[in-house]
Chains A and B, each alone.
Chain A
Amino acid sequence: MSEVTYYFLGFAGIYVLMGWALYLPYRVGQLNFLIVACMAITAYFGGFAAREWGWPFIVILIIGILFGATIAFIFSLAIGDAPCFTVVIVGLTSVFIVKTVIENWRTLGGTIGFFHIPGPNNMLAIIYSLLFLVGLLVFRIDHSRWGRAASVVFIDRDVAVTLGVDIKKLGMFFQIISCSIAGMAGILDAFLVKSLSPEFFTFSMIGYLMCILFVGGYTTMWGVILSAFFLQGIPLMFPSNIASWRLVIYGALLVIIILLRPEGLITRKMLWSIKIKSPRYITN
């Protein structure tokens, strides 16, 4: 496999994970950008633990996931049932705080960054194994009682409450799962790139993740997969002088999709129509 394909698939896989991390809380109407802060924290933790303490990858990965879950749990006690706007503000602020702390923490390289992270060479197999497992988890959640409850909360919180849904617990559950996934993605990113800089975790990453979620479709988990691969592939699909306009392309795509297909490219209705047309559903 060429190096280009390796990194394309590696990043696409990590962005699918991050896309799902954003997708899950949005099932209850929350845009949780805390995932970017969690990604940065675990990436730096992973890089430091591998380089300075020589910890094995698997231990770092597990601790990274737990870090993500713990951070989310603490935050979710306050914002588990908060409206979308509040969650957005908390998320953006947390990214800013984490970035500032890293920039001022000499041990982590400060503004210069953190170099030479050792680790497994073939990250692709690890990324896609984990992607498969996380995919199964997200699929199960989507089709569980929690998923159905989330769909009601998304449409109308009051109706959900009358149906007996505990909105706070549900929000906490989705935030914890999503930050755990982001924690995992942070570790994978650190080991794939092998360097870290505060500049890797900026607000432009939030914009990119939003694009992945809303272009692909926020009503199913499959949209994120389509858009992560498509958007990540734009620089590879087009000649350099066109690919230079990728940020404009991302923005234009987002606007067009929101105007023409507000639910994104892959919607739940679309999946249902495919299911109904498939032979399994045709009866005499």
Chain B
Amino acid sequence: MKCKTLRFFSILILVIGIVFASAFHIFGQEVKVSEWNIPFLNTITGPIASIGEYMSWSANRAAEEINAAGGVRGVPIKIEIIDTGVDKDKAMEEMAKLVDSALVVMGPVPEACIMAAVPIAVKAGLFSMVSSTSYEYAVEYFPWTLSWYPITEEKLPPITAAWAKLHPDMKTVVQFVENWAAWPPMAEAHAVGLESAGVKMLSQVDVPTDAIMFEPLVLKALAQKPDGIMLTCNSEKAAKIIIELVKKGWTDKSKILVFSSADDTALYTTGGDSLEGISIYNYIDLNLDDPRWQAFREAYKKDHNGIEPASLSTNYYDSVYMIKEAIENTGVTGDPAKLAEERIKIRDYCRNVKGFKGIQLTWDMTDGVPTGKGTFLFEIENGEKVFKAMAK
């Protein structure tokens, strides 16, 4: 009897112990917030507001989808868009407001704002998802940032080489380069790829940032009698250069390659029909046969007067999903008392996530640098981008 009672109580105590331990474990990981507030330092006013607009749009779309599916660990996610324009002072002050409370920050967006504001986040141990910039900027603040793109000199040569291989008769190329942010190193990487495919690079034509007249630049390029043209300048200038090239009698437009950063609304609104036949590379395949992507594409077009998603339009959409995954898979609670520890959990997860399912691709991150991300080459036919090649 005594033995049975003892056994009963032992089991009872054990069960109670297990229940309590489990309860404490669950309580310990219970979400402590009523809403996951993710600040997004973005540029929604000023000269590159159009880029900021579609980045905000895509981040908000991701949040809407996540909330419709039950939120993150049962709690809705909210993207707090904070406008910094292209003003470094404003970016710094806005980042300073966030360092005591934010779990993670998306942005800032323009490079000048990244350079000014991210050091404040680094000092405070706050992870910034600078998903719109190139490796050259992001790497400066590792491990408190990640690079959304692979290393420029590894990422770009294969795609320009692929373009050259599509046009074996193209022996010489002139590159128009606008001296802005990370574009000169990108131009160098373009040249490396072309030269590796046996193309001779002729003298580069510099495009002044404040250029209005493009005829002299085009004449300077055509005087070298190139077989192909590579455009590494902003979208509006690229469109105007193409218009000028057509006026000067350029016929084979597939031998004009526009780089990814110019794949923006202004390229299409300015270039219009002149763009027919040109080549362009970017990081999204518009015709990807995937229902999630096609739903995104249709919604984007609906909200942007029928214009197709731009090259950078998916970056912050995927960033929101990456943060969601990080919160879910690392048991982040949002508890202010654990802020420092949970920031590091999100940082470490995002910088080394494996098999992340982006809206276009599945890729891995290794110490903050993506691997397995592709670059796509298209030609514009009847106003549509037609896939021609992919390079990894």
Residues in chain A within 8 A of chain B (CB atoms): 2-4, 6-8, 11, 103-104, 110-113, 115-116, 193-197, 199-200, 204, 232, 235-236, 240-241, 243-247
Contacts and interface: CB of A to CB of B under 8 A. Distances in A.
Contact of A7 (B85, B92, B112, B181): B92
Interface of B: 44-46, 81-83, 85-90, 92-94, 96-97, 99-100, 110-112, 115-116, 119-120, 124, 136-137, 140, 179-185
B132 to A, nearest CB: 15
A197 B181 CA distance: 9
Q: Which of A7, A8, A11 has the most CB of B within 10 A?
A: A7
A11 B87 CA distance: 12
Chain A contact surface mostly: helix
A138 B271 CA distance: 53
Q: Is the interface of B mostly helix, strand, loop or mixed?
A: helix
Listed residue (A2, A8, A195) with the most chain B CB atoms within 10 angstroms of its CB? A195
Contact of A197 (B115, B124, B184, B185): B115
Contacts of A194: 119
Given A7-B93, A116-B140, A193 B88 contact: yes
B89 A3 contact: no
A193 to B, nearest CB: 5
Contacts of B110: 199
B140 A199 contact: no
A116 B115 CA distance: 9
A180 B184 CA distance: 33
A199 B115 CA distance: 10
23 contacts: A3-B96, A4-B97, A8-B93, A110-B184, A111-B181, A111-B183, A111-B184, A112-B137, A113-B111, A113-B115, A113-B137, A116-B140, A193-B92, A195-B119, A197-B111, A199-B88, A199-B110, A235-B90, A235-B94, A236-B93, A243-B90, A247-B46, A247-B85
A95 B93 CA distance: 26
Given A112-B182, A243-B83, A195 B116 contact: yes
Nearest to B89: A11
Contacts of B45: 244-245, 247
Residue among A110, A115, A245 having the largest count of chain B Cβ atoms under 10 Å: A115
A246 B111 CA distance: 20
Given A197-B111, A197-B115, A199-B112, A111 B85 contact: no
Given A113-B137, A193-B115, 15 more contacts: A3-B99, A7-B96, A11-B93, A104-B179, A112-B137, A112-B181, A112-B184, A113-B111, A116-B119, A194-B119, A199-B88, A199-B111, A240-B81, A243-B90, A244-B44
A111 B115 CA distance: 12
B88 A200 contact: yes
Nearest to A244: B83
Nearest to A99: B209
Contacts of B182: 111-112
A204 B94 CA distance: 20
B136 A112 contact: yes
> Which 4 A-B pairs rank lowest in CB-CB distance, beginning with the nearest?
A3-B96, A195-B115, A199-B112, A244-B83
Contacts of B81: 240
Nearest to B141: A115
Nearest to B96: A3
Contacts of A103: 179
Contacts of B90: 235, 243, 246
A105 to B, nearest CB: 11
Contacts of A243: 83, 90
Contacts of B83: 240-241, 243-244
B146 to A, nearest CB: 17
Contacts of A3: 96-97, 99-100, 120, 124
Nearest to B124: A3
